[in-house]
């Protein structure tokens, strides 16, 4: 018999053992415990790539092959003594680089502003009742409720399900929705065959309440139940 450890993939754990490992239950976490775990594990979101330094972003505008050709032409003009042509070419390249930098810099800030405005929520079971919270406040061991059309806010194990199908095209490229069921799969099972899990960034196509799942690793982006896994956080359906 294989011994389970905290490093064992969450899709291989029997549900009773997984719930025990996450120190949770079908009634969900208490508000106090959820707050403690939020401090311990941090918000339930993917780490954002650090914004390129301004100087690096500006210099990246000159990696274009056409720009490199123009710079070579300017150097050749200087070598041949035609400084006027060199100045004109360098001016065009500089203006083009500044415009590209300004556009990318502005686009990056616009995305950051949008992310601060949009608030995505999910339904969880806490203190024995259904509550709606921001997805970045979900913690390991939370019980999630998913319904048709809902996005999956974290990697989860299915705890209960009935005709549950999820669209995983963003992860696996599968054309058709994948049916999700309660069960245990092997440690080496490919991602598209882990039918006892749903994944962050995918969404529910159909299904009815009755599935509970514990979540596992923290991020690979209803009315089904799931629970977040231990470390990193996960979700339960």
SS (HEC) of 154-199 = CCEECCECEEEEEECHHHHCCCCCEEECCCCCCCCCCHHHCCCEEC
Question: CB–CB of 197/180 below 8 Å?
Answer: yes
Average pLDDT over residues 68-94: 89
Question: How many whole angstroms separate alpha carbon 124 and alpha carbon 127?
Answer: 10
| Structure confidence by residue, pLDDT tens digits, 171-209 | 888 888 999 988 899 999 999 899 999 998 898 998 754
Considering Cα of 146, then 147, then 153, then 155, what sign does the dihedral take? positive
Question: How many whole angstroms separate alpha carbon 182 and alpha carbon 197?
Answer: 8
Give the tokens for residue 189.
């099972």
What pLDDT does residue 222 have?
34
Give the tokens for residue 114.
């949008």
Split at pLDDT 50, 70, 90, the class of 230 is: very low
Question: CB–CB of 158/197 below 8 Å?
Answer: yes
Question: How many whole angstroms separate alpha carbon 121 and alpha carbon 118?
Answer: 10
| Structure confidence by residue, pLDDT tens digits, 41-57 | 888 876 665 555 777 88
Q: How far apart are the first and last CA of the chain?
A: 28
What pLDDT does residue 68 have?
87
> DSSP string of the chain?
-PPP-TTS-GGGS-HHHHHHHHT--TT-B-HHHHHHHHHHH--SSPPPPPPPPHHHHHHGGG-SHHHHHHHHHHHHHHHTT-HHHHHHHHHHHHHHHHHHHHHHHHHHHHHHHHHHH---EEEEEETTEEEEEEGGG--TTPEEEB-TT-B--S-EE-SB-EEEEEE-HHHH--SS-EEE-S----TT--GGG-TTEE-TT-EEEEEES----B--SS-----BBEE--TTTT-EE-
What's the mean per-residue pLDDT of the chain?
A: 80
Q: Topology of domain 13-237, per CATH? A: 2.70.150
What pLDDT does residue 47 have?
65
pTM flag (> 0.75)? no
Split at pLDDT 50, 70, 90, the class of 220 is: very low
pLDDT over 50 (residue 223): no
| Structure confidence by residue, pLDDT tens digits, 95-120 | 988 998 888 878 877 877 776 777 78
């Amino acid at each position: 018999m294989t011994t389970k450890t905290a490093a064992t993939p969450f899709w291989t754990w029997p549900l009773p053992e997984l719930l025990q490992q996450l120190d949770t239950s079908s009634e969900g976490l208490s508000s106090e415990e959820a707050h403690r775990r939020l401090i311990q594990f941090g918000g339930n979101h993917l780490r954002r790539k650090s914004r390129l330094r301004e100087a690096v972003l500006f210099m990246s505008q000159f990696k274009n092959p056409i720009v490199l050709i123009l710079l070579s032409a300017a150097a050749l003009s200087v070598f041949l003594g035609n400084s006027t042509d060199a100045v004109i070419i360098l001016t065009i390249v500089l203006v083009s680089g500044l415009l590209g930098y300004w556009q990318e810099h502005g686009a990056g800030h616009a995305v950051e502003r949008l992310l601060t405005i949009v608030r995505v929520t999910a339904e969880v079971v806490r203190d024995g009742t259904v509550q709606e919270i921001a997805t970045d406040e979900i913690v390991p061991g939370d019980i999630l409720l998913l319904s048709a059309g809902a996005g999956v806010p974290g990697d989860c194990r299915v705890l209960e399900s009935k005709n549950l199908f999820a669209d995983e095209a963003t992860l696996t490229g599968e054309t058709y929705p994948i049916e999700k069921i309660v069960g245990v799969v092997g440690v080496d099972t490919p991602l598209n065959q882990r039918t006892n899990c749903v994944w962050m960034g995918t969404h529910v196509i159909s299904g009815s309440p009755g599935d509970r799942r514990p979540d596992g690793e923290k991020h690979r982006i209803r009315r089904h139940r799931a629970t977040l896994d231990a470390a990193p956080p996960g979700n339960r359906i």
